[in-house]
Structure 1
Amino acid sequence: MGPEATCPRSWPLPRLRVRTWIEPVVASTQLASSLYDAGLLLVVKASFGAGASSNHSASPSPSPRDAPEDEQQRAISNFYIVYNLVVGLTPLLSAYGLGWLSDRYHRKISICVSLLGFLLSRLGLLLKVLLDWPVQVLYAAAALNGLGGGFSAFWSGVMALGSLGSSEDRRSLRLILLDLILGLAGFCGSMASGHLFQQMTGHHSGQGLVLTACSVSCAAFALFYSLLVLKVPESMASPSKALPTVDTVSGTVGTYRTLDPDQSDKQSVAGHPPYPGKAKPQKTIIALLFVAAIIYDLAVVGTVDVMPLFVLREPLSWNQVQVGYGMAAGYTIFITSFLGVLVFSRCFQDTTMIMIGMVSFGSGALLLAFVKETYMFYIARAVMLFALIPITTIRSAMSKLIKGSSYGKVFVILQLSLTLTGVVTSTVYNKIYQLTMEKFVGTCFALSSFLSFLAIIPIGSF
């Protein structure tokens, strides 16, 4: 009889194990984030009316061709340049320290502190809607989020708990399940965001009140659940630690056979490492994975940052509900990428799966550059169905090359690196968009397609 037998009414799982699940925190946080992202875009758009953008326009003497819509687009773009800089740079002051504290004292530190900053930033948007404050107050709200560690500290903490609560042979599946939950919650939030924003549309000062209040409620739930319910799981011994170093290294660039529950570890021990004597050193593998992740993330971040501006102007000119649906379409890649890993992992090597994802995103971004109708937008999004596989697979592979006691620091360094490069990308892409939106509005998407295919080079050198 195990400890499960002591639970009243024969609970199927020990209560302590249920409390170690990080999934409720991930789901509620992402639900709040998807509502916030849509609300932020729509609130900023409403604040920058045709006549309100004169102080933010990149061109003080607009040409006759400049329409009010173009001036509004520049104003929104300039707002997001500053906003993304604040969101991306402020975590550099605290995220690494939170990761170090989590490794040294308690695993929940980075999660709880980042969720506190997350909640404060959502409250900032709610107060802006309630009190009709200027949009510049949202910069301060973003700074509070960043000083709490931002997404870098939060997601590194989630990855650390997810890795600790799973054995090495199940870790890849565990981490991509967390990504799947992230995507499902974001999909639901985005689908509802447009409808929620339209509530109380008759009151200008209250436009978006229901949407922002729901976002704050979800963020508050995530914080209090982390503080009062969530428990740190016991570190599970990895059966593969007894394997020779060369098997561990080659396993990183081999197939994800660990996703197959029917395959025993004994087969891995008895089997011979592929390409004996030609396995690259661990540092080389990590460096190549790191470079590929950076280049690919540049392409993804640039596309994601420009896309909201792209759908608001001609030829699409979406309304609030269509904006929510479009954001929801972006979250479907979490589902399709999860299914792709489960299928491809049984047939292809890790490097092949990463390249499939990069080709998927690069092809979709190229189609997006020539979108003229709404249905074409969704076709391009459908081509990107495996876009999440590269980063998820790279992160899972790198987690197998580091010690459990260093998860917090290593994961936060990786996340901060991606965030920092993303900040630079956001600024550059927004400026490129402003300069090219009248000539060829799809320039940024074409550039992202090029970067996505370029990221294949480091992966192909394995």
Structure 2
Amino acid sequence: MSPETSCPWMGHLPRLQVRTWIEPVVASTQVAASLYDAGLLLVVKEYYDAGGSSNHSASPSTRGAVEDQQQRAISNFYIIYNLVMGLTPLLSAYWLGWLSDRYHRKISICVPLLGFLLCRLGLLLKVLLDWPLEVMYAAATLKGLCGGFSAFWSGVMALGSLGSSEGRRSVRLVLIDLILGLAGFCGSMASGHLFKQIAGRARQGLVLTACSVSCATFGLFYSLLVLKVPESVAKSNKALTTVDTVSGMVGTYRTLDPDQSEKQSVVGHPPPLGKGKPPKAIIALLFVGAIIYDLAVVGTVDVMPLFVLRAPLSWNQVQVGYGMAAGYIIFITSFLGVLIFSRCFRDTTMIMIGMVSFGSGALLLAFVKKTYMFYIARAIMLFALIPITTIRSAMSKLIKGSSYGKVFVILQLSLALTGVVTSTVYNEIYQLTMEKFVGTCFTLSSFLSFLAIIPIGIVAYKQVPRSQFEDITEK
């Protein structure tokens, strides 16, 4: 193995292969997204709060009624906004994935980035020119018609998979997620402070939205002018492909040393390929597990901003930014989790650890009364990112590299479509239950997270025990 392959910082790499790294695009895009998400929430809150500001000096019961009315208004806005964001990519995302497989990988990255930029510009113009809030529906439509996050992230995953060997792909993809999390953390931490840079309601948030537009612009031009598509590592390891095709889900990530993993693949006994058990069945089970788990995550993420704005937490602008930043910590802890767990656990085990982590945190979140309890619940979710990332990595070993774009975008669109339904249902449930038990949605998410373990457990049962028992019998 050449030094360039084993160490990405050696040889003539800086001039050529550094340009294949997708991380700068991911980082700049996510900083823009985190600033935008926090800015949109605060702009919407200020918009609806302006109508009821005169009632803040009224009795506690009146203030409570105003707060509930504001919560319903914000929730109704996000129901429509999330519907637009989730449904419009269905018109274009698959075709962008198909075009990227057939013609050029950067198509599924650059076109969505253009949509991101237009959407960020929409919020900037709304703040700058005091346009009506409904303009954000049009901005979301433009973003969706350009492929949205579904097309963008499938393109990112395709480039990340092409530029890594099968033995290191799980770590490679979660490293991209780590960059995403670090960028989101920095953006969220700064969002509350940037939002307050201009005093007065008229243009509050102008600095924040301008920064978001700047970061989105950088990501678009970097992807157009600098980014290069990496050559597939799988071509140089074609002899090992048949050994690793199905074993990727039963423990090929036990070492992070690519040389060592190759020696184990060649010298050791290759695991059975499961004759009579087509990869399609395994892919289907992985799809089901990913979708159910994503339902739990999307529902929690959509309701959480509303939850922290009302009593008993009643966060201000800076606290909202800090709370969003806490959510990005899971990108760091999930990366460390994969780095450690991949040495001694199978993929299916890592997936289930992540699902248990999120389900337990969501259950505690349902009973949060103080701010410190919120952060404890978020800390329990420290491995919540592992499942979806590891499922993507496992799928990439069951399909050809030429099909990455289509398969990843189908998965992402499936998650997006179910996410739209989840967002609407969860917002309706939240409105119906916030006066009785505000943590109902989080309890439901906890149940779904544990439910998602079942299809993953079936994959583990079908792929692992039989080979282990055969080895024990032979000995």
When normalised by structure 1's length, the TM-score is 0.92
Which is worse superposed, 346-355 or 217-226? Answer: 346-355
Give the distance between the partners of 1:34 and 1:171, measured in 2 at CA. 26
Aligned to 2:472: none
Secondary structure in structure 2 of the residue aligned to 1:232: coil
Aligned to 1:368: 365
Aligned to 2:471: none
Q: Select 1:285's aligned residue among 282, 287, 291.
A: 282
Give the distance between the partners of 1:312 and 1:144, measured in 2 at CA. 29
Aligned to 1:56: none
Secondary structure in structure 2 of the residue aligned to 1:237: helix
Q: Select 1:115's aligned residue among 104, 113, 116.
A: 113
Counterpart contact for 1:167–1:239, Cα < 8 Å: no
Aligned 1:62-461 pairs, distance under 5 A: 67-201=65-199, 203-238=200-235, 241-243=238-240, 245=242, 247-257=244-254, 259-261=256-258, 263-274=260-271, 280-461=277-458
How far the C-alpha of 1:353 sits from its partner, in A, is 0.8
Aligned to 1:36: 36
Superposed CA RMSD? 2.1
Secondary structure in structure 1 of the residue aligned to 2:51: coil
Which is worse superposed, 157-166 or 363-372? Answer: 157-166
Which is worse superposed, 231-240 or 440-449? Answer: 231-240
Letter in 2 for 1:88: G
Counterpart contact for 2:19–2:228, Cα < 8 Å: yes
Change beyond 3 A, Cα 1:372–1:270? same
1:342-399 alpha-carbon deviations (Å, 9 max, x no partner):
1111111111111110000000000000000000000000000000011111010001
Give the distance between the partners of 1:294 and 1:3, measured in 2 at CA. 40
1:379-438 alpha-carbon deviations (Å, 9 max, x no partner):
000000000011111010001111111111111111000000000000000000000000
Which is worse superposed, 233-242 or 222-231? Answer: 233-242
Counterpart contact for 1:249–1:279, Cα < 8 Å: no
How far the C-alpha of 1:161 sits from its partner, in A, is 1.1
How far the C-alpha of 1:239 sits from its partner, in A, is 5.7
Aligned to 1:59: none
Give the distance between the partners of 1:190 and 1:279, measured in 2 at CA. 49
Secondary structure in structure 1 of the residue aligned to 2:234: coil
Which is worse superposed, 306-315 or 251-260? Answer: 251-260
Counterpart contact for 1:28–1:221, Cα < 8 Å: yes
Give the distance between the partners of 1:80 and 1:129, measured in 2 at CA. 18
Change beyond 3 A, Cα 1:70–1:109? same
Aligned to 2:463: none
Letter in 1 for 2:400: K
Question: How many pairs are equivalent?
Answer: 446
How far the C-alpha of 1:14 sits from its partner, in A, is 4.1
How far the C-alpha of 1:277 sits from its partner, in A, is 5.6
1:239-263 alpha-carbon deviations (Å, 9 max, x no partner):
6542474652133233423534452
Are 1:16 and 2:13 matched, yes or no? no
Letter in 1 for 2:176: L
What percentage of aligned pairs have identical amino acids? 85
How far the C-alpha of 1:171 sits from its partner, in A, is 1.7
How far the C-alpha of 1:162 sits from its partner, in A, is 1.2
When normalised by structure 2's length, the TM-score is 0.90
Letter in 2 for 1:454: L
Secondary structure in structure 2 of the residue aligned to 1:372: coil
Give the distance between the partners of 2:410 and 2:107, measured in 1 at CA. 16
Counterpart contact for 2:249–2:348, Cα < 8 Å: no
Change beyond 3 A, Cα 1:365–1:154? same
Counterpart contact for 1:358–1:452, Cα < 8 Å: yes
Letter in 1 for 2:98: W
Which structure 2 segments of 5+ residues have no match? 5-9, 54-60, 460-475
Which is worse superposed, 151-160 or 268-277? Answer: 268-277
How far the C-alpha of 1:236 sits from its partner, in A, is 2.1
Which structure 1 segments of 5+ residues have no match? 5-9, 54-62
Change beyond 3 A, Cα 1:204–1:11? farther
Counterpart contact for 2:297–2:445, Cα < 8 Å: yes
Counterpart contact for 1:255–1:346, Cα < 8 Å: no
Change beyond 3 A, Cα 1:221–1:244? closer
Give the distance between the partners of 1:92 and 1:132, measured in 2 at CA. 31
Give the distance between the partners of 1:206 and 1:11, measured in 2 at CA. 51
How far the C-alpha of 1:458 sits from its partner, in A, is 0.6
Counterpart contact for 2:254–2:344, Cα < 8 Å: no
Letter in 1 for 2:315: W
Counterpart contact for 2:85–2:141, Cα < 8 Å: yes
Give the distance between the partners of 1:351 and 1:154, measured in 2 at CA. 26
Change beyond 3 A, Cα 1:384–1:278? farther
Secondary structure in structure 1 of the residue aligned to 2:105: coil
Counterpart contact for 1:361–1:452, Cα < 8 Å: yes
Secondary structure in structure 2 of the residue aligned to 1:347: coil
1:154-186 alpha-carbon deviations (Å, 9 max, x no partner):
111111111112222222221111000000000
Aligned to 1:26: 26
Letter in 2 for 1:92: L
Counterpart contact for 1:50–1:69, Cα < 8 Å: no
Counterpart contact for 1:366–1:445, Cα < 8 Å: yes
Letter in 2 for 1:23: E
Change beyond 3 A, Cα 1:149–1:247? closer
Give the distance between the partners of 2:387 and 2:20, measured in 1 at CA. 28
Give the distance between the partners of 1:64 and 1:311, measured in 2 at CA. 20
Counterpart contact for 2:303–2:426, Cα < 8 Å: yes
How far the C-alpha of 1:296 sits from its partner, in A, is 0.2
Give the distance between the partners of 1:29 and 1:50, measured in 2 at CA. 31
Letter in 2 for 1:227: L
Secondary structure in structure 2 of the residue aligned to 1:134: coil
Are 1:51 and 2:48 matched, yes or no? no
